[in-house]
Structure 1
Amino acid sequence: MTRPLTNMGEKPMAWSWRFEDVAGEQVTVEDPVSELFPSRGDAESWLGENWRALSDAGVAQVTLLDGEDARYTMKLDDA
C-alpha cells in the first residue's frame, strides 16, 4: 500500500490512534484494533464508528497521531 507524502515529499504520513486510560497511560485492547490510516479524515471516521466499543473495552481517551506526533486528545464519553 502506498501512503501519501507530506508537502515536503520526504516522509510518508500515517495517521493512527493511541488508546489511553483516564491517567493518559497507553492501554491495549484486542478489539477493535486500530490501524494506520492514509488521512486524518479516515482515522476520524474510523473512531466515529468504533468509539463505543473502545469505551466498553476500558479506553477512556484517545490521541490522534500523525506518525509519532500527537495532534489532539479526546475523551470517550457520552457527554
Structure 2
Amino acid sequence: MVWTWRYEQGDGTVVTPAGGVEEFSSQGDAESWIGEEWKQLAADGVDRVVLLEDGREIYPMSLHEA
C-alpha cells in the first residue's frame, strides 16, 4: 500500500507543492508527516489535504485552524 496526500485550494483545485508529492508506507507515517508540514503547506497556498491509500480517498482535512 502507498499512502499519499492530495493538496487542494479552497475551490477544490488540486495543487502540487514545491516539494512534490510524498509517498508513505503507512497511514501513521503520512499522518505524522502532515502534522509536521501542515503550516508550511498552508503558507504555500494549500487549504485542505485528502489522505489517499493507493489512490482511494480516506479522509479530507482542512489546514486552517478552527
Asked if Structure 1 and Structure 2 have the same fold, meaning a TM-score greater than 0.5 normalized by the shorter chain, the answer is yes
Percent identical residues: 45
RMSD: 1.0
| TM, length-normalised to structure 1 | 0.79
Runs of 5+ in structure 1 lacking a partner? 1-12
Kindly indicate which of the two structures has a greater share of residues assigned to strand: 2
* Structure-2 separation of matches of 1:35 and 1:46: 9
The higher radius of gyration belongs to 1
Who is 1:43 aligned against? Answer: 30
Kindly indicate which of the two structures has a greater share of residues assigned to helix: 2
Matched residues, number: 66
Runs of 5+ in structure 2 lacking a partner? none
Pick 1 or 2: higher relative contact order, CA cutoff 8 A, min separation 6: 2
| TM, length-normalised to structure 2 | 0.93
Q: How does 1:22-37 map to 2 (within 5 A)?
A: 22-31=10-19, 33-37=20-24
